[in-house]
Amino acid sequence: MAVLVTGGLGYVGSHSVKQLVERGEHVINLDNLIFGHKQAACGSEVIIGDIGDRALLRDIFSKYDIDAVMHFAALADVPESVADPRKYYDTNVAKSLALLDVMLESDVKMMIFSSSAATFGDPQVVPIPEDHPKNPTNPYGRSKLMLEEILREYERAYGLRAISLRYFNASGADPSGEIGEDHNPEHHLIPIVLQVALGQREQVSIYGTDWPTKDGTCVRDYVHVSDLAQAHLLALDALRNGCQTTEYNLGNGNGYTVMEVVRTAENVTGREIKTVSADRRPGDPAVLVASSEKIVKELGWKPKYPDLETIIETAWKWHSTHPNGYE
Ligand code: UFG
């Protein structure tokens, strides 16, 4: 029995693959290497290719005895999705439909899907529960919501069961220091802040200092990537035990401002991190904090690294030992 992981050489994918392999799962890791890194394979069987390639998918499903798919492969740059929505609906929706088609042809009927807090848009209440209204403010969030809705219909019509995991702000790195976050270009706050600590950037721009929050900067719910990985393994077990299609939010329920992240990173690294005020970034909500009670209660999810300092310590261990990422 094997698990097909798409995008398993990327950031959240590779951390999940590592935990799958560590518990003895046979992992087939399909990645097109656009964002993935070969060095992040973690003992999985890597196949270089695209999720939109039906012929390749048919080969994979006929060659291996796959019972479930973890589907990470996607584009995830919010501003880019606004500038070029076609690319996002093509990769995140159309190519996912190709994958689902071949799964159904091959009678593989379990999927764990990487969704996002971006499906909610501006929250009306925080912490955000799963059934909060969904009004994505960008094509990225809408593409993720579309797939969630498609997965609901595919259960009704075809019996394909899926768990959608809505990540809030994925961050940190595997505590071993072997794998971590390496995006090019990098847009995320914590790696950017640590690049300033490393002297690779002069300063970090703070996107808005006049938000209605305690210090005027945006509040986010940072969740450790290894805790996200743990949730994927629990979701796989739940599907194998017969659970029905559902969605779970993944965050720690604690919001930190951008300035709190910078100050915590200064403490962790012992270095000064220069900041400069900049305009608000279009599409940013002021506050995004998850309620993850549902997955805690239903699947027994227990984050091991919930506090911001530990998250940044693990990220620092990775960035300070891999200043140029995997290269
Ligand atoms: N920020 C800065 N300066 C920077 C980078 C970020 O001030 O140089 C701020 C952002 O404005 C935001 C916060 O830091 O308020 C966090 O920004 P990130 O880009 O790290 O993360 P986001 O909250 O924008 O986005 C993340 C994921 C998206 C996802 C979104 C909602 O990266 O894929 O959460 O789920 F859509």
- Confidence check: pLDDT of 63 > 90: yes
- Confidence check: pLDDT of 64 > 90: yes
Looking at residue 225, the DSSP 8-state letter turns out to be H
Would you state the structure tokens that stand for residue 163, as one six-digit string?
Answer: 């768990």
The H-or-E segment that residue 309 falls in is helix 308-321
What is the C-alpha end-to-end distance of the chain, expressed in Å? 33
Q: Which atom of ligand 1 is nearest to the CA of 188?
A: 20
Count of Cβ atoms closer than 10 Å to residue 116 Cβ: 23
Cβ of 169 closer than 6 Å to ligand 1, yes or no, is: yes
Residue 248 among the catalytic residues: no
Q: Please tell me the residue having the least CA distance from ligand 1 atom 20.
A: 188
Closest CA to 249 of 307, 287, 290, 289: 290
Per-chain mean pLDDT for the chain: 97
pLDDT digits (tens, 9 = 90+) for 88-120: 999 999 999 999 999 999 999 999 999 999 999
Would you state the structure tokens that stand for residue 19, as one six-digit string?
Answer: 């935990």
pLDDT digits (tens, 9 = 90+) for 143-161: 999 999 999 999 999 999 9
Q: Which of 281, 292, 312 to mutate to test the pocket of ligand 1 (most atoms within 8 A of CB)?
A: 281
pLDDT digits (tens, 9 = 90+) for 274-315: 999 999 998 889 999 999 999 999 999 999 999 999 999 999
Across residues 220-243, what is the average pLDDT? 98
pLDDT class of 327 with cuts at 50, 70, 90: confident
Q: What are the residues whose beta carbons fall under 8 Å from the beta carbon of 244, sequence distance 6 or more?
A: 155, 161
- Confidence check: pLDDT of 229 > 90: yes
Question: What residues pair up with 164 in beta bridges, in sequence order?
Answer: 113, 247
Question: What residues pair up with 170 in beta bridges, in sequence order?
Answer: 223
Tell me if 109 sits within 8 A of 66, measured CB to CB: no
Would you state the structure tokens that stand for residue 48, as one six-digit string?
Answer: 């270089």
Tell me if 256 sits within 8 A of 308, measured CB to CB: yes
Instruction: Calculate the alpha carbon distances from 8 to 35, 229, 261, 280 in Å.
Output: 10, 11, 28, 33
Closest CA to 260 of 245, 248, 275, 241: 275
Cβ of 171 closer than 6 Å to ligand 1, yes or no, is: no
What three-state secondary structure class fits 165? strand
Cβ of 220 closer than 6 Å to ligand 1, yes or no, is: yes
**47 CA from centroid of ligand 1 (Å):** 31
Cβ of 278 closer than 6 Å to ligand 1, yes or no, is: no
Considering only CA atoms, give the Rg of the chain. Answer: 19
Count of Cβ atoms closer than 10 Å to residue 322 Cβ: 18
Burial (Cβ within 10 Å: 0-12, 13-18, ≥19) of residue 122 = middle
Q: What percent of the chain lies above the pLDDT cut of 90?
A: 98
Catalytic residue among 11, 88, 89, 140: 140
Tell me if 96 sits within 8 A of 149, measured CB to CB: no
187 φψ region: left (φ > 0), alpha (ψ -120 to 50), beta (else): alpha
Tell me if 168 sits within 8 A of 249, measured CB to CB: yes
What three-state secondary structure class fits 128? strand
Q: Which atom of ligand 1 is nearest to the CA of 190?
A: 20
CA dist 262 and 266 (Å) reads 6
